[in-house]
Structure 1
Amino acid sequence: MSDVEVNFEGPIFDGRAAQAMAAYCDDARDSIAEFGEQHALNLMGLAFRHPTGYYESRVRTELVAADTARVHDSGVVYGPWLEGVGSRNSPVTRFPGYFHWRRTKALVQARGRPIAEQVLQRHLPGMR
Structure 2
Amino acid sequence: MSIDIDFRGPLFDGRAERAIQDACEGARDKVAEFAQQHALRLMHAAFRHPTGYYESRVTTTNVSSEVALVHDQGVVYGPWLEGVGSRNAPVTRFPGYWHWRRTKGVVASRGPAIAEREVRRHLPEMGG
What is the TM-score when the length of structure 1 is the normalising length? 0.96
Q: Is the 8 A contact 2:39 2:99 kept in 1?
A: yes
Identity rate, percent:
64
Q: Quick one: distance in 2 between partners of 1:64 and 1:16?
A: 25
Structure 2 equivalent of residue 42 of structure 1: 41
Structure 2 equivalent of residue 59 of structure 1: 58
Amino acid at match of 2:74: G
Deviation, structure 1 residue 65:
2.3
Q: Is the 8 A contact 2:24 2:65 kept in 1?
A: no
Unaligned runs of at least 5 residues, structure 1: none
Amino acid at match of 1:73: D
Q: Quick one: distance in 1 between partners of 2:49 and 2:114?
A: 33
Instruction: Give runs of aligned pairs for residues 15-26 of structure 1, distance below 5 A.
Output: 15-26=14-25
What is the TM-score when the length of structure 2 is the normalising length? 0.96
Number of aligned residues: 127
Q: Deviations over 1:43-101 (max 9, x none)?
A: 00000011110000000100122311100001111100000001111111111000000
Amino acid at match of 2:50: P
Q: Quick one: distance in 1 between partners of 2:20 and 2:31?
A: 16
CA RMSD of the aligned region, Å? 0.8
Q: Quick one: distance in 1 between partners of 2:26 and 2:117?
A: 11
Q: Secondary structure at the match of 1:70?
A: strand
Structure 2 equivalent of residue 94 of structure 1: 93
Q: Secondary structure at the match of 2:63?
A: strand
Q: Quick one: distance in 1 between partners of 2:16 and 2:65?
A: 19
Give structure 1 regions of 4+ aligned residues with deviation exceeding 6 angstroms.
none
Amino acid at match of 2:55: E
Q: Quick one: distance in 2 between partners of 1:92 and 1:4?
A: 79
Structure 2 equivalent of residue 117 of structure 1: 116
